[in-house]
Each structure stands twice: as structure tokens, then as C-alpha cells.
Structure 1
Amino acid sequence: MVLRSLLSLLSPGGARGRLSILIYHRVLPAPDPLLPGEPDAARFQWQMQLLARHFNPLPLAEAVRRLRDGTLPPRAACVTFDDGYADNAEVALPLLRSVGVPATFFIAVGYLNGGRMFNDTLIETVRRLPEGEVDLTPEGLGRRRVASDSDRIALCKALIGQFKYQPPAVRNRGVEALPERLGITVPDDLMMTSGQLRGLADAGMEIGGHTLTHPILARQSAPEARQEIEAGREALEGMLGQRVRLFAYPNGRPGTDYAPEHVDMVRDCGFEAAVSTAAGAAGPASDPYQLPRFTPWDRTPGRFALRLARNLAGRA
């Protein structure tokens, strides 16, 4: 009761309503030492139970309309997922349905049906490295020791940092060459199939655009960025047979990963709202095309609840 009262003070609803939007990428079947920031099924389950008990979870499109109209309920919250991982359908969906929490899934549609995002290629390559020393001189990292999980985590971060902001064509060539050079086979079932995507929509979940191939829009030319935004939406609408109204900026940091011109592109393409990865809660004055979100990293219910409250207070 104390928590609910505090949350109601911070998010009273109506004309002073505030909207908490949570961002996830994956929900793992079990903890993964190389993905310490991603919740497993057990953690995600209690997070959703807490959200259902203390908040009013809404579909994002409805929440955006009610935020605009001044009719948000107290303690309004939305759950979102980025990228389109298969575990969203296999692990997260049953847990969401079990507690009655809706969610919005932003899909980088070019990776469906056997595709793989560059960071996952790197992580899965590092996962399969034998213990010892690996020569990453062609990747600009010299010779690196691989003996422990912490070594592998550090190596994943270094490789991702090395490739992340390269031009997509250059990055893709370099990333795909790495496992081939090291004689490593990486999985091709990390992302959803189109059938799993339709299953999410059939279950009443919202589907949003996340471009075609997840480029950093600020590193693209204007025509390239517009093509990514439009082509991603068109591909999703073709698969689903329904309009796609919501968008998430890849990486999502305002001024770094996307610029005002990309906000205009998203609006011009007919999307009704878009989300960033800037932390905070949305209020009546928030730009509906740059709604803030935050990632719930916490591993205990108490800390999770505290972070939700601090986010509403602007202190996450």
C-alpha cells in the first residue's frame, strides 16, 4: 500500500498523468553469464507481477492517446521490446499473458527468419572461443586472453565497441569474417521467424517499426535513413496485414543516434508516436515522437520498485 500510494503521488493520472515505459531486449530461459543485463524468465516474471500489481499496464498506442487527451490512469506503464529476438515469443509472451500485461515489440525486420544482429555474432563467437589466447589483430584488438567469463564479457564489449559505429557495409563484412576466420559456427535462430511475429500480433501484442537493419540513423545519409524507416514499416505491414503505427529509434539516444531530421522522417512516414532510450517518464508536455524509456536492470523486487519510483520522480 505504501508503494502504491507513493506511485500514485508521482503518477496521479488525468491532466497531470505520467507514463513509465520500460524497455527490454531479451528474456532468457536461464541466466547467461555473457548477457548479465538481460533478465531470465524468473526475474522477468516477478517484474511483470509487480508491474501488474502496482501499476496500470497499457498498450503503448492507447497510452500515447490518453497521455495526449489527459485521460491516463494513475500509475500508467507500458512494456516494450526492441529488435525481435525469438525468446520474446518463446519466453516473454507466455509470461506476459499469464499476468495480463500487454507489450509492444519493435522489430528490426531484416533480421527475421535466420538473420543475426552484429553484436550477437560477436557475442556468440566469443562464447565459443576455446580457453587460451586469441589473435584479434585484424580486428584491431591484438592478442587477447580468454580464460574466464569476465574475460569473455570484456572481449565482447571491446569487439562491439570496435565495430558499432562503422558504416554498416564495412561492419557487416568485418563481423561476419571473424567467426569464419576462427573456424567457429554461430547460431542462426536467435531472432524471430515471421510466424512467431504473427503469433505475437494474434495474441494482441502491438508491433512497431525499428527500421530494416537497425542502423545508427545519425550515421546514415538522409535518403538511406528514410529508406530504412520506410522499408522496415512496409515489410512489417506486408507480413502482418495491419498498419504499423509506432516506431523505436535504433540505439535511441537523442542527438547521438538520431537527430531532429529523423524525428521529422518518422512523423512524415505516418507513424503516430516514437520512443527513444532517453531515461525518464513521459508527461503531458513530452514530444510524442521522442518518448523516454528506461531499462529495469534491478535484480530484486525492492530495487526494481524503487527504480520505477525514482524514474517517475526524474531520478532514475
Structure 2
Amino acid sequence: MRILPMHKLLQLAGKLLGRNKLSILIYHQVLAEHDPMRPSEPTAEVFDWHMRLLQRYFTPLSLDDALHHLQHNSLPANAVCVTFDDGYLNNLTVAQPILAKYNIPATVYIATGFSQGTNMWNDRLIYLFADTKRQQINLQGELITLADWPQRRELAQQWLMKLKYLPIDQRLVAVENLYQENEAAEQAPLMMNPNEIKQLAAAGVCIGAHTINHPILKVLSPAEQQNEIVQSKQQLEQWAERPVTHFAYPNGVLGRDFDETAVNIVQNAGFDSAVTTDWGVSTGENSVFKLKRFTPWDRSRLKFHIRLVNRYWQKG
């Protein structure tokens, strides 16, 4: 059985089921080569066929164009937006050339506190478990033997969840203490610096804000949320030398990670939209400050395409 006719049928199904429904895809990194600690992150090879499939069977839109069509009930068939969270350097060095190859617009939401050479706390934590020179790790006084990649990933995930919802300062101190206990060296910077952010913007990629420190906004006071949201916008506008009008909530689940306090701050700060990580598609009935997204994780082209079409069954 040839696969191509199936893609054509799925394209037709998308036209029928996806009228005035917008799919927004979430990526974080596009890796030059496979990383066993991040098996869900696409490599350049995988991302290339993702974008080739989108270019051939969907209608990739910039976020600005998608918002215009949403508000005027005029979305083209199989409309899709591509977004990235956090601001990794490989968004510029690996992903952007592929986006340009297929002429696909994208938005990159950047947490500005990690643009001066310091890696995000979660990447620092993962690196402790990823270092193959390290056969044991001291976890707050408990010495654990490190074994294969699945065990290292599981331990890292446990500690990520343990620290994620702590206040920012406590979270950073906990990671720093783990580094000191294990006499660990730092990984090379993973995030774009201001000049690289400017390069990405000059290449036509839309720059969005993602706070300063990537906190769980809901655990912060309104004043702290205001600072995280507004200051990140101002920093990025200075670095990119253009307006920053789109925002992504860190972690991004409504009710768990942020609430109406953050939504109101984002709206009053002059943003045109904000995206969540609540899974689904968005319609004109959705608030533009609570747009839904999802992550395409399938490893085959057909399953990837089916996943995107299946999203149209969900309500906005």
C-alpha cells in the first residue's frame, strides 16, 4: 500500500474537519543529533520531514496571520502555526535553516534570564544525570549509582518534578547545591544570547516573550508576575529591535501553572496573544490570551499526520 494516497486523504479530512480550527505546535529544541536524555526532542532529520509534511499538506501561517483569520472566521484549510519555547541556540543554528528551506513561519518564545550564558535550571539538572563520566551521584546525601539511559532519565524526571513547583530562589539553590555536592562542572551555554536573538529576528522568525526566569507564575505574587512578564517583553524588544507582541505561559497549564491574574497582566502589557500548553486546537471562540497548543511526538510520517488531523475532533 502506498503511503502518499493516505496523506492526500488525510489532507482532505483536515479540510472537512478542521474548518476555522487552528493547530499550534510546540517545539523546544531541534537537535543536531539524537540525545538519549531527551529522546522526545526531534533531530534535524526528523524536523526536516515534519516541516516538509506541513509545507505539502497543511497551510503554515505566521501567528499574526493566524490571529487575523481566527478573528475574522477565515482560516484557510489545515491551518497550522509552529512555535518554540525557551530560546535554545539550536532554534537558530538547526531549526531556522529548515524553516527557511520550506518557507514556514515560526514564533520563538524566549525566557530572557538565560540569555547571558546561564542555562535553565532543568537543563542544568539533566546534565548532572547525563554526564557519562559520572557513575554515581549524590542526591542530598543519598549516593545513587547511575546505570543505563532509561534509569538516568527516570531519576532526572523525578528530580525535575520535585523541584519544578518550588519558588524560583529555592529551586535555583537546590540545583546549585547538587552541583556543589557532586563537584560538577557547567555545561556549555545552550541558549541564545542577545545578538543571536537579533539574528533570529532578522531571519524573519517572530520573537515572543516567555518571562525572565521561567517561573510557575501562579506561585508568584501579582507584582512578581508583572515584573516577569513586562520586563521580558522590554528586554526582547531592545535585543530584537522590534515589537514583541506574543507571549507563552511557562509550563502553561491553565489553573495549575497560571490563572486569570497572569492573563490580565499579559493583556494589559500590550501583547496581542498568549499561548498555553493545554492540548487542543483553537477557534474564534477561544480567548486569544489562552490559545491551545500540542506537541507532535510521533516518529512516522503517517502517524504524525494522523495526530494532527485527530486534533480537529477536539473542541477549541
TM-score bracket relative to the smaller structure: over 0.9
Question: What is the CA–CA distance in structure 1 between the aligned matches of 2:177 and 2:88, rounded to whole Å?
Answer: 23
One-letter amino acid matched to 1:47:
H
TM-score normalised per structure 1 = 0.95
Corresponding residue of 2:46: 43
Question: What is the CA–CA distance in structure 1 between the aligned matches of 2:162 and 2:137, rounded to whole Å?
Answer: 16
Corresponding residue of 1:216: 216
**Cα distance per residue 1:91-121 (max 9 Å; x no partner):** 0000110111110000001111312111000
1:31 deviation in Å?
Answer: 0.8
Question: What is the CA–CA distance in structure 2 between the aligned matches of 1:129 and 1:181, rounded to whole Å?
Answer: 17
Question: What is the CA–CA distance in structure 1 between the aligned matches of 2:170 and 2:132, rounded to whole Å?
Answer: 23
Is the 8 Å Cα contact of residues 207 and 240 (structure 2) preserved in structure 1?
no
Corresponding residue of 1:23: 26
Is the 8 Å Cα contact of residues 131 and 147 (structure 1) preserved in structure 2?
no
Is the 8 Å Cα contact of residues 195 and 239 (structure 2) preserved in structure 1?
no
Is the 8 Å Cα contact of residues 125 and 186 (structure 1) preserved in structure 2?
no
One-letter amino acid matched to 1:8:
K
Aligned residue for 1:7, secondary structure, equals: helix
Corresponding residue of 1:64: 67
1:136 deviation in Å?
Answer: 1.1
- Taking the TM superposition and a 5 Å limit, the aligned residue runs for 1:14-163 are 17-128=20-131, 130=133, 132-138=135-141, 142-163=142-163
One-letter amino acid matched to 1:72:
L
Aligned residue for 1:61, secondary structure, equals: helix
One-letter amino acid matched to 1:40:
T
Question: What is the CA–CA distance in structure 1 between the aligned matches of 2:275 and 2:57, rounded to whole Å?
Answer: 23
**Cα distance per residue 1:111-157 (max 9 Å; x no partner):** 1131211100001111115454433134xxx3322111111101110
Corresponding residue of 1:6: 13
Q: Which moved more, 1:83-92 or 1:174-183?
A: 174-183
**Cα distance per residue 1:10-55 (max 9 Å; x no partner):** 123xxxx110000000001011110011111111110110011111
Is the 8 Å Cα contact of residues 138 and 182 (structure 2) preserved in structure 1?
no
Is the 8 Å Cα contact of residues 128 and 184 (structure 1) preserved in structure 2?
no
Q: How many residues are aligned here? A: 308
Question: What is the CA–CA distance in structure 2 between the aligned matches of 1:243 and 1:134, rounded to whole Å?
Answer: 45
Question: What is the CA–CA distance in structure 2 between the aligned matches of 1:195 and 1:38, rounded to whole Å?
Answer: 25
Question: What is the CA–CA distance in structure 1 between the aligned matches of 2:187 and 2:194, rounded to whole Å?
Answer: 18
Question: What is the CA–CA distance in structure 2 between the aligned matches of 1:289 and 1:175, rounded to whole Å?
Answer: 32
Q: Which moved more, 1:31-40 or 1:123-132?
A: 123-132
Aligned residue for 1:302, secondary structure, equals: helix
One-letter amino acid matched to 1:49:
R
Is the 8 Å Cα contact of residues 237 and 244 (structure 1) preserved in structure 2?
yes
Corresponding residue of 1:239: 239
Tell me: CA distance 1:108–1:131, structure 2 relative to 1, closer, same or farther (3 Å): closer
Unaligned 5+ runs, structure 2: 1-7
Unaligned 5+ runs, structure 1: none
Question: What is the CA–CA distance in structure 2 between the aligned matches of 1:242 and 1:236, rounded to whole Å?
Answer: 8
| Percent identical residues | 38
Aligned residue for 1:80, secondary structure, equals: strand
Is the 8 Å Cα contact of residues 140 and 178 (structure 2) preserved in structure 1?
no
One-letter amino acid matched to 2:224:
E
Corresponding residue of 2:4: none
TM-score normalised per structure 2 = 0.95
Question: What is the CA–CA distance in structure 2 between the aligned matches of 1:174 and 1:222, rounded to whole Å?
Answer: 24
Is the 8 Å Cα contact of residues 22 and 294 (structure 1) preserved in structure 2?
yes
Is the 8 Å Cα contact of residues 134 and 143 (structure 1) preserved in structure 2?
yes
Corresponding residue of 1:253: 253
**Cα distance per residue 1:154-207 (max 9 Å; x no partner):** 111011112111110111111122123212212132001212111111111111
Corresponding residue of 1:272: 272
